[in-house]
Amino acid sequence: MISVVTGGCGFIGSHIVDKLLEEGHEVRVIDNLSTGRLANLEHQKDNRNLTIFQEDIRNKKNIESIFENVDYIFHMAALADIVPSIQKPEDYYTSNVLGTFNVLECARFHNIKKLVYAASSSCYGIPRVYPTKEDAEIKPQYPYALTKRLGEEAVLHWGQVYGLPVITLRLFNVYGTRSRTSGTYGAVFGVFLAQKLAGKPFTVVGTGEQTRDFTYVTDIADAFYTAAKSDIVNETFNVGSGGTYSINYLCELLGGDIIHIPKRPGEPDCTFADITKIEQTLGWKAKVTLEEGVKRILDNIDYWREAPIWTPENIGEATKDWFKYLGK
């Protein structure tokens, strides 16, 4: 079996690569290393079944040949984070929409078994119903959410029109080892872990009573693998943990002092996936509890030593455009 993993040097992508290599696949990674890190696959460097191509999915000509004889495609490459997506929408459009278009066009001319797309639960915006089902209203709140949604629509459209066997997985608050440490202010785990290492207080947004459906990354990798292997095509599934947990509880598990920062516009008070569809159709269910996942992270906390340390002051500066554009 031959698999292509776009974004395979990234946080979630590298865990999918691990899973595929474990299952005996030949794996070709496409990553431009803009936010992905070779260090994330360092432990696989002697594995002869792994090849890493440092290419950008925005350049179709440069990636076409990598798809020769491919069986499975895992399309993970994308730009993440809210604020930079507001500041540089064109970068997000070209990476997340045009990049997806290029991958679909590369896939179309090969007899593939499945393409699985990493879609985002941010497509639901501020949901009206919890747990949220796949047929809930689509309401992206910022360019990152919009571009991931447009990519998802393109994937499903290639399924509909060209018969490409596709599945899109809407991921809910993925956390785990190798979560991004890049310069931008982003997902809460990276922020809190670097603060813990520096002995600084956790910057809790609002009351900290808001909850998130934190889903452990190896469970996500299993969901991708299960979706690839199944006979199901042209479907969308939520991928969540089955629960939703407050930020205050997360702080308790991580252990440390707290400081409060203002609530941000456009943020839901809760994310919580209804996972009935994936459980019943694909037989997938998350295995790692939040308590166990946090423990695994704390055992590997040194990874975040290079991550930027966020304080209420530099967060205020970094999120100015968030309040400016979404706070109207």
Per the CB < 8 A criterion, the answer to whether 216 and 173 are in contact is no
How far is Cα 227 from Cα 277, in angstroms, rounded to an integer?
12
Per-residue interface string for the shown chain with ligand UDP, residues 154-173, x marking contact by CB under 6 A = -------------------x
Q: What CA–CA distance (Å, rounded) separates 146 from 244? A: 24
Angle between helices 217-229 and 11-22 (to 10 degrees): 60
Candidates 79, 204, 290, 297; binder of ligand UDP (CB under 6 A) is 204
Which of the ranges 29-37, 67-75, 85-93, 184-192 carries the binding residues for ligand UDP, by CB under 6 A? 184-192
* CB nearer ligand UDP, residue 19 or residue 212: 212
Q: How many CB atoms lie within 10 A of CB 281?
A: 13
Supply the minimum distance, in Å, between the C-beta of residue 311 and ligand UDP: 10
Question: 148 and 123 in contact (C-beta within 8 Å)?
Answer: yes
Contact status: 180 vs ligand UDP (CB under 6 A) = no
Binding residue for ligand UDP, selected from 70, 80, 86, 188, defined by CB under 6 A:
188
Which strand (E) or helix (H) includes residue 3?
strand 2-6
Q: Give CA–CA dist 119/237, Å, rounded.
A: 9
Q: What are 67's two structure tokens?
A: 């798809």
Query: Does 233 participate in binding ligand UDP (rule CB under 6 A)?
Result: no
- Give the nearest distance from C-beta 189 to ligand UDP in angstroms: 7
In the complex, the smallest distance separating the C-beta of residue 254 from ligand UDP, rounded to whole angstroms, is 11
Does residue 119 touch ligand UDP according to CB under 6 A? no
Work out the angle at residue 128's Cα, subtended by the Cα atoms of residues 124 and 133, and round it to the nearest 5 degrees: 60
Please give the Cα distance from 105 to 64 (Å, whole number): 9
Question: Interface with ligand UDP includes 174 (CB under 6 A)?
Answer: no
Distance CA 187, CA 291 (A): 18
User: Is position 95 an interface residue for ligand UDP (rule: CB under 6 A)?
Assistant: no
Minimum CB separation from ligand UDP for residue 59, in Å? Answer: 29
DSSP assigned state of 103: H
Spatial separation of the C-alpha atoms in residues 16 and 27, rounded to whole Å: 10
Q: Per-residue x/- marks for ligand UDP, 270-309, CB under 6 A?
A: -x--------------------------------------
Q: Which of residues 187, 227, 239, 288 is near ligand UDP by CB under 6 A?
A: 187
Q: Which of 93, 144, 185, 216 is catalytic?
A: 144
At residue 54, the 3 state secondary structure works out as coil
**Single-letter code of the amino acid located at 313:** E
Q: Tell me how long the chain is.
A: 328
Q: Is 144 tagged catalytic?
A: yes
Query: CA 87, CA 81: separation in Å to the nearest integer?
Result: 11
Least distance (Å) between residue 125 CB and ligand UDP: 11
Instruction: Pick from 2, 169, 191, 288 the residue near ligand UDP by CB under 6 A.
Output: 191
Question: Least Å distance between CB 293 and ligand UDP?
Answer: 14
**Angle, alpha carbons 93-96-100 (nearest 5°):** 120
In whole angstroms, the minimum distance from the beta carbon of 267 to ligand UDP comes to: 5
203 is an interface residue for ligand UDP by CB under 6 A = yes
Contact status: 205 vs ligand UDP (CB under 6 A): yes
Residues in contact with ligand UDP, counted by CB under 6 A, come to a total of: 12
Binding site for ligand UDP (CB under 6 A): 173, 187-188, 191, 203-205, 210, 212, 247, 267, 271
Active site residues: 144
